Amino acid sequence: MNSIPDPERESFSSKFGILAATAGSAIGLGNIWRFPYVAGENGGGAFLFLYLGFVLALGIPVMLSEMLIGRNTLKSPVGAFVKLKKGRAWPLVGIMGVSGAFFILAFYAAVAGWTLEYLYQSVTNGFSGKSPDELGDMFNAFREGSWRPIIWFLVFMVMTSAIVISGVKKGIEKYTKILMPLLLAILVILSIRSLTLPGAGEGLRFLFEPDFSKITANTILQALGQAFFSLSIGMGTLITYGSYITKNNNLSSTVISVSLADTFIAILAGVAIFPAVFAFGIDPAAGEDLTFIALPSIFQQMVGGYFFSTLFFVLLAVAALTSTISMLEVVVTYFVEELKLKRKRATILASVLISTIGLFAAGSWGWFENMTLFGKNVFGLLNFTSVNLLLPLGGFFIVIFVGWFMGGKVVKDELSNEGSLKARFWLVFLFLVRFVAPIAIAVVFLNGIGIINF
């Protein structure tokens, strides 16, 4: 089935705009905050090895599947499955995706709030003269405080909604196009400084030398979750963005460029962080605070540290913003389409609901520290379950759908833009989404949650 483009519906205006928005969604705190700390907790090199394998073999097929569904239907994740009429249960996959976006945004915006605090500290010279230990204490004191993490979280939610209200073209494209290359440049500078610290070699070995004895079922599941999280897949974000992509865009090349860029930035963040972690004697398995201790430590040790750290936290906040926009957009598009709300109302409603849950995540070390379940606070619970459970499940159903229900001809038409591109690999893609991806995701998932045991 092929949809006639709705003249009222917005779309991205250029190839570069599509790339910038999709890469903007993918590149964010997942690369610079989450990848290093999860890799640090899961043994470094072995985790990186699994992560790369999952991006290539599973991430790329899932990503292409999502974009293809979005562009074919021009709908939200729920509307897309309704429109394709392959059974009443499929829209539930869309609903799961929208809920995933909802819960991920709730904790993600809390971390984004941390970047604003760190920007503030940077501007007011708050790191100056502090040792890595003192920086660790400073982070904890901030996070355990009552107001600040919550206020910064709310500020971030307001910024996100303001951009989403103004719409896809004016909002999303404009902000993502300019600042990403700058973030890349500063990460390169940081990596160089980190690599030239005495004792940096050990950090590189930690990141690049796999020690397979460190792999557990949980590590494998975490690597899969992180791969999906970092690529923004498994919850319909790219179904939504795909629905804004024009019919002449080469989807597969967009997907390949975005996943390469995303993976490169994650590795670069690792190269910036781990040498410093070892040089300063920070514990690589420190957890969520790793990036927030290691990077300020590097800034202390470099010429122009004040300038670079301020610029860096501005860029990190922007990278986070282009990701939070994409998450909120999923929920808003759903509200607009299914509840028939105007964009502005839908955005306000979604933001208020998400902020309510997010308050508990942002205050997880302060006011709400006693709200725990299975030994995890609200933040930890949202972080673990949405990333490691919802995203793999979402990815699983999405590839099954494209592989077995969408129809080979539709897939081929989308990949080849109705025959105007060669897309000779479409059979390989079909094979991946029919067999390889669903089986691999299912095995990792069931093994990770302990239902089967390898």
Residues in contact with ligand PFF by CB under 6 A are 25-26, 28-31, 101, 104, 229-230, 232, 235, 237, 323, 326-327
For the bound state, the minimum distance from the C-beta of residue 55 to ligand PFF, rounded and expressed in Å, comes to: 12
User: Which is closer to ligand PFF, CB of 28 or CB of 149?
Assistant: 28
Nearest CA to 402 out of 425, 442, 430 is that of: 430
Q: What is the DSSP letter of 89?
A: T
Give the number of other CB atoms < 10 A from CB of residue 168: 23
At position 426, the amino acid (one-letter code) is W
Distance CA 419, CA 411 (A): 11
User: Which is closer to ligand PFF, CB of 104 or CB of 159?
Assistant: 104
For the bound state, the minimum distance from the C-beta of residue 97 to ligand PFF, rounded and expressed in Å, comes to: 9
User: Which is closer to ligand PFF, CB of 305 or CB of 394?
Assistant: 394
Crossing angle between the packed helical segments 251-279 and 290-300, to the nearest 10 degrees: 70
Q: What angle do CA 443, 448, 452 make, to 5 degrees?
A: 60
User: Which is closer to ligand PFF, CB of 103 or CB of 280?
Assistant: 103
Residue nearest to ligand PFF (CB): 30
Distance CA 149, CA 116 (A): 9
User: Which is closer to ligand PFF, CB of 102 or CB of 127?
Assistant: 102
User: Which two structure tokens, joined as six digits, stand for 97?
Assistant: 């995706």
User: Which is closer to ligand PFF, CB of 227 or CB of 302?
Assistant: 227
For the bound state, the minimum distance from the C-beta of residue 228 to ligand PFF, rounded and expressed in Å, comes to: 8
Q: What is the DSSP letter of 233?
A: -
For the bound state, the minimum distance from the C-beta of residue 88 to ligand PFF, rounded and expressed in Å, comes to: 25
For the bound state, the minimum distance from the C-beta of residue 84 to ligand PFF, rounded and expressed in Å, comes to: 21
372-373 and 376-377: which strand pairing?
antiparallel
For the bound state, the minimum distance from the C-beta of residue 323 to ligand PFF, rounded and expressed in Å, comes to: 4
User: Which is closer to ligand PFF, CB of 25 or CB of 99?
Assistant: 25
Distance CA 22, CA 230 (A): 12
For residue 373, give the H/E element and its range.
Answer: strand 372-373
Beta strands in 24-98, from DSSP E residues, in sequence order: none
Convert 22-84 into a string of H (helix), E (strand) and C (coil). HHHHHCCHHHHHHHHHHHHHCCCHHHHHHHHHHHHHHHHHHHHHHHHHHHHHCCCHHHHHHHH
For the bound state, the minimum distance from the C-beta of residue 392 to ligand PFF, rounded and expressed in Å, comes to: 13
